[in-house]
Structure 1
Amino acid sequence: MTTIEQRATQRSQSEPRRRSGKRPVWMETPGPLVQAAKAVALGISLLLVIIPFWSVLATSLADQQTINSSGGGMVMWPHGFSLNAYSAVLSGGVVTRAMVISILITAVGTFVSLATTAGLAYWLSRPGAAGAKPMLLLVLGAVLFTPGLIPSYLVVKEFQLLDNYASLILPVMVNAFNVIVMRAFFQQLPQELFESAAIDGASSATILFRLVLPLSKAVLAVIGLFYAVSYWNAFFNAMLYIQTTDKWPLALVLRTFVVNQSAIGGDQVGSGEALPPQLPMQMSILVIAILPILLVYPFLQRHFAKGVMIGAVKG
């Protein structure tokens, strides 16, 4: 056997098994036992997620007799359904006003945060942009070191933002982590497209609004959902900066009612009907607070599934 034949034989023996048509182990179809185990694990995980939500919804719809029979605790299936808790919560006007305030804060805050985050991330993603490196160091420093409670309060007070809705948006307008994620996404876009647009005379603003943002719907949907959820659920800043109770957002109203056991509804429900038990009223406010996010998420799910993979795959 010649030297060339020996080398060919050694090379053929060292070839990966994929040439024989066999796929890697992790790509093989699992057996029935493995599939059954996955189905059981998925079913258990699904139940662990659904059961608490169902218990909250069922308790909010339970009548007085069901609550009394359960010992005043949570119920899984009410014997009689009643909307008195929702009527009592919404009739007082406090929850309705707080919901409108939360919707406005979430809408304005999400728009402002997305605009500033996209602009800052685009600037940091441009090669050779003036001052980009020092600003990137500041952004990374903001991820590692968060401001303290007292300095944040003093800054808000110095700018005369106390008891103002701007205090719920401006201090948290830009999230450093979201900036880094969006910058990484912008850097993965084809740079040749931007270079050709610049050669044709397009300005940086034109490239951002005409090219970058239309190609970045996935990351905008993900970051926008993160901002919207944080604005909707935020209550601590409102508790610090908003002194007027009529300006409280829904999250703070919910926290006050659940923790401090404060009354929200009126003294009567309808005409002459007593207030429902306190627990169904608490759960009804919780359902009202969860519902808007549940309604918005299906419209963003298509982009969200793609956006969460940002930076996970190279090439």
Structure 2
Amino acid sequence: MCVAMIYPFVHIASISVSSPAEASRFGMHIYPKEVDFTAWKQVLDQKKIWIGFGNSVFRTVVGTFLTLVMMALCAYPLSRKYLPHRNVYTMIILFTMFFGGGIIPTYLLIRSLGLMNSVWVYIVPGLVPTFSMLVLRNFFMSIPAELEESAKIDGANDVRILLSIVLPLSKPVLATLALWSAVGHWNSWFDAMLYITDESKQVLQTFLRNIVITNTDAETLGRSAVANIRYEASIKAATIMFAVLPILVVYPFLQKYFVKGTMIGSLKG
């Protein structure tokens, strides 16, 4: 299973730094036999790629931070037994996880909210993912109530309890949910295709799709005077690697929290 997961990544990495002849060779690519960094140079020289990269970083960082904030503000009250009608609120929120309006009603809603052609359309519609919020709520419910009671005796209010006690104890599950949100934001491209027409606000994944699937971005594909169409396979591979590397860099810092946070957050329903 490890080989099946790792080999496609090694294959793409090898092609991205291979000469045109080597990149087009049929068979397995474990390491580049003819090293050529022209494809990487072509990718890194494209202004469009860096514009998309900046928009993707903004979307991932700001979107993940705001999602964690809003999920905590939503999950904490729902985890407290003294909240009136909390089960009703939970069922209403849970309903949205199974039923949606569809593409056309969602498009009309986004347009009526004035989010068309705005970078906030990447963040606002999915600000509180239902499943992740429920995982966080279940984790909050597993925290002993005695901690909250002792804090209230000392004069702490709900906000102070959330910031000083609950959130510090929730680092594993928060790191897990942050990783889920960050990967989701980084890989997303469909909303950009639907709601964004300004090229300066497109995300990296949209450019990646144009290069790898539709072949519509001729300049980035290397059909300019500087590059030759022979580098098309290497340029596609280099663009994929460029899009994957940021998540690979972030993941090791959150990996130790991943399994622990997922298991703890699923203990209590």
TM-score with structure 1 setting the length:
0.80
Q: CA RMSD in A?
A: 1.8
Structure 1: 5+ residue runs without aligned partners? 1-44
Aligned counterpart, 2:10: 54
Pair 184,160 (structure 1): closer, same or farther in 2 beyond 3 Å: same
Sequence identity (%): 37
Q: How does 1:1-315 map to 2 (within 5 A)?
A: 45-68=1-24, 70=25, 75-261=29-215, 262-265=217-220, 267-269=224-226, 274=228, 277-311=231-265
CA contact (8 A) 1:59 1:279 kept: yes
SS, match of residue 304 in structure 1: helix
Counterpart Cα distance in 1 of 2:101 and 2:239: 32
Pair 169,205 (structure 1): closer, same or farther in 2 beyond 3 Å: same
Higher CA-based Rg? 1
TM-aligned CA deviation for residue 90 of structure 1: 1.4
- What is the aligned residue count? 265
Aligned counterpart, 1:29: none
Structure 2: 5+ residue runs without aligned partners? none
SS, match of residue 32 in structure 2: coil
Counterpart Cα distance in 1 of 2:148 and 2:45: 55
CA contact (8 A) 1:102 1:250 kept: yes
| Higher relative contact order structure (alpha carbons within 8 Å, sequence separation ≥ 6) | 2
CA contact (8 A) 1:61 1:78 kept: yes
TM-aligned CA deviation for residue 226 of structure 1: 0.5
Runs of 4 or more consecutive aligned structure 1 residues displaced over 3 Å after TM superposition:
73-77, 273-276, 311-314
TM-aligned CA deviation for residue 274 of structure 1: 4.2
CA contact (8 A) 2:135 2:266 kept: no
Counterpart Cα distance in 1 of 2:143 and 2:184: 28
Pair 259,80 (structure 1): closer, same or farther in 2 beyond 3 Å: same
Counterpart Cα distance in 2 of 1:224 and 1:144: 22
Residues 112-170 of structure 1: per-residue CA shift (max 9 Å, x gap): 10100111000100111145333211111112213311111111000111000111111
Counterpart Cα distance in 2 of 1:279 and 1:233: 21
Residues 209-265 of structure 1: per-residue CA shift (max 9 Å, x gap): 000000000010000100000100000000000011221101111011111112243
TM-score with structure 2 setting the length:
0.93
Could you tell me which amino acid in structure 2 is paired with residue 128 of structure 1?
Y
Residues 56-91 of structure 1: per-residue CA shift (max 9 Å, x gap): 1011111123134x15x8744332111111110111
Counterpart Cα distance in 2 of 1:48 and 1:55: 11
Residues 147-195 of structure 1: per-residue CA shift (max 9 Å, x gap): 3111111110001110001111111111111111000000001110001
